Chains A and B, each alone.
Chain A
Amino acid sequence: MATEGAATAVPSSSGVSGLDLVKLTKVFPGGGVAVSDVNLHVDHGEYVVLLGPSGCGKTTTLRMIGGHEFPTSGDILLDGESLVYMQPHKRPTTTVFQHFALFPHRTVLQNVEFGLKMHGVGKEERRKTSLEALEMVGLEQLSDRYPRALSGGQQQRVALARVLVTKPTALLLDEPLGDLDRLLQLRMRVELRNLQRQLGLMFLHVTHNQEEALSMADRIVVMNDARIHQIADPLTIATKPATELVARFMGDNNIIRGKVVEREGTRLVVEDDHGVRVSVQAPGEATSVGEPAMVAVRAAAVEVVENVGGPALNSAECEIVFVEFLGDLVKLHLTVGGERMLAKVPGERYPSFRGREGEKIRISWREDDGQLLHA
């Protein structure tokens, strides 16, 4: 399907529909590796979120797809055709930039019309289509304003209308909600997602906000340090992190780091330095007894059992360090011989934990909630 490596390779073509990144790599002069060996397939009509901490190469990936950065090696294919040598204005992709990048010297309507004007659409039709697009984002009455006289949310909508009128095959969004206040962010999440469903377009959305990614994406791509760590649907990302990084970045995971002490079939038992034993199903893993291993258990999957003592497997005796009440849930910060653990229990149970810092407590979880991590 894909060519080997370099941007200098002959553009390949295949019958695949959708966007493909093939071994995409970007090394900036001076040696900074921004994107390393990224492979990704995105279908038409799919909403994919690139998620990762600051500086992990999300923007650079998007810029290479949009044609604003030239890959060091690798290929970008849209419906089987390589985009690598295509100038940005010829690519069927458009970007909503992080700070919207509206044209400050043009009115809202002129901003939206710009793409059509560049594509040689006549004046009347241009105006009509643009006003329709503005209507779609609810801004038709502000069409004569200049961008400076708009709020962040309004600018955001203008940016959307401006790219949508050009009917792109793929829409690239670089932290499109980053500049908005929280309430507006929540509203725009829904609006953006609805718009995408309505249009059936491919959206590639970059963010460092876990919640935003989980709530909007069909699939999430977690990146760190120029590499992809995991590609999966939101539920899998949230409950079955593939690597330690994903588990930590998604937050509220207990990570038990130890050695494999038992193995029967696909079931492993891992024990850490403090005697905490956790069993986990790991089909297809070749880890054998004695090797180091890591298991993640979500804080929300942890049960708090009052009776001290009991089975040692998938359970631990902890000391309560801090009880954090968050309204509809309680976070119990715990420690097992210096190792931090976290349990999330429903808010109603707050009274039974209040003021019990320093006391011992037993937690347990089900084997299914254990997830073997890769380094």
Chain B
Amino acid sequence: MRRRRRTDWAKWALGIYFVLFLIFLYTPMMLMGVLSFQGVYGAITFPFRGPVGLRWWHALFDSSLPSSHAAEIQSAGAQSLWVSFAAGAIVAVLAFTLSMAFRRKFPLQGLAFYVIMLALMTPGYLLALGTQLFWKFMGIDTSLWKTALGTNVVWGIPFGFLVMLAVWNRYDYHIEEAARDLGADQKRAFREVTLPLVWTGIFGGFLFGFTLMWNDYDRTVLLLSGSEASTLPVQIAGLTLTTAIRPDLYALGMATTLLSLFTIALVLGVVGVRLRLRATPVHKVEEEFGLGGGLEVESEAPPSSAS
């Protein structure tokens, strides 16, 4: 009896903790959402100043409205989107090819692993500072599409790399050998068997590269050249510093969040359908992306270079 009651208490406590956690996580965003629907005299804090309307949302898209930042925000948004796509693609390809090397043992593998992981540990701002100094020293101007993108890619690679290690960890190499046995040369086996079995991991690497670049401020801010359009995070930070903060920033925050949610839903949908079609032993989406056994792999992955 006593034992059963204790379990119930634990459940209640955990339930309450979970609700508090949700509130902690999502209230700021919901408040922002609420405040973005204020009227012309809306401010950035409560009380809510009516009437309820879409004025601030409008200001995101219509630069003819007085004191609208639509033009800057839109160009920064587009810039961010493209450069994030580029970062995602580069991270996906590099992390994947790097991880291919780790399928076999090679001398100094352990060292190579830690070198790749180093970018994960280095504070972003310092990395940017170092990069800036380096290129200054080399006499080359920093810019978004060169240095900022490069630094973010360096940062993103370890994430994509870990995802791929997890994928290889549960990959059955015999399947590839079977393909070779049945007459596929190395290229063919790669195309017909390896790639279809691990592309979700590669896609996971892309998502990491994309989101890291999309959200990055530390690494980007120092590495832009003054003249060019900046990325969304840098633009927003600039607006909060130079002009009065207004509810259109909240609308912007909500808009990007909704976009992210939509993208995630889309990805889950695609992977879910794919999983059902293929009916592999992988039942969870996070496993499909190689995120399931991630930690386990991290501790196992660096094989000692000596042996």
Q: Which of A30, A67, A105, A114 contacts B182 (CB 8 A)?
A: A114
Q: Which residue of A lies closest to B174 (CB)?
A: A101
- Report yes or no: B174 in contact with A88, Cβ–Cβ below 8 A: no
A173 to chain B, nearest CB (A): 12
Whole-angstrom distance between the Cβ of B173 and the nearest chain A Cβ? 9
* Given contact pairs A104-B280, A146-B279, A163-B182, A118 touches B177 in the complex (Cβ within 8 A): no
Question: Residue among B174, B182, B184 with the most chain A CB within 10 A?
Answer: B182
Whose C-beta in chain B lies nearest to the C-beta of A118? B183
Do A89 and B307 have beta carbons less than 8 Å apart?
no
Distance (Å) between the CB of A342 and the closest chain B CB? Answer: 40
Chain B residues numbered 155-199 whose CB sits less than 8 Å from any CB in chain A = 172, 174-175, 177-186, 188-189, 192-193, 196-197
A115-B183 in contact (CB<8A)? yes
Q: Considering the complex, give the chain A residue whose CB is closest to the CB of B176.
A: A101
The CA of A95 and the CA of B183, in the complex, are separated in Å by 12
Q: Give 1 or 0 for each of A122-155: 1 = CB within 8 Å of chain B CB.
A: 0000000000000000000000001011000000
Size bracket, chain A contacts: 20 to 34
Alpha-carbon distance A67/B278, docked complex (angstroms): 30
B28 within 8 A of A: no
Given the known A-B contacts A104-B197, A104-B278, A148-B279, are A30 and B307 also in contact in the complex, defined by CB atoms under 8 Å?
yes
A133 CB to nearest B CB, Å? 13
Residues of B within 8 A of A148 (CB): 278-281
Kindly state whether residue A162 has any CB partner on chain B within 8 Å.
Answer: yes
Q: Are A89 and B175 in contact (CB under 8 A)?
A: no
Q: A97-B174, A105-B196, A105-B278 are in contact. Are A87 and B185 (CB under 8 A)?
A: yes
- Residue of A89, A97, A104 near B183 (CB, 8 A) is A89
A101 to chain B, nearest CB (A): 4
Residue contact A95 to B178, C-beta cutoff 8 Å: yes
Identify B181's interface contact among A88, A102, A103, CB under 8 A. Answer: A88
B284 CB, min distance to chain A CBs, angstroms: 15
Given the interface pairs A101-B174, A148-B280, the reply to whether A66 lies near B181 with Cβ below 8 Å is: yes
> CB distance A118 to B279 under 8 Å?
no
Contact of A118 with B182 at beta-carbon distance under 8 Å, contacts A101-B172, A101-B175, A104-B197 already known: yes
In the complex, what residue of chain A is closest to B193 when comparing beta carbons?
Answer: A103
Q: Which 9 A-B pairs have the closest CB atoms?
A: A118-B183, A115-B182, A101-B174, A88-B180, A101-B178, A148-B279, A97-B174, A118-B184, A101-B175
Apart from A89-B184, A114-B179: 20 A-B pairs, beta carbons within 8 A:
A66-B181, A67-B181, A87-B180, A87-B186, A89-B182, A89-B189, A91-B181, A95-B181, A98-B174, A101-B174, A104-B278, A104-B281, A105-B197, A114-B184, A118-B183, A148-B278, A148-B280, A163-B181, A166-B182, A166-B183
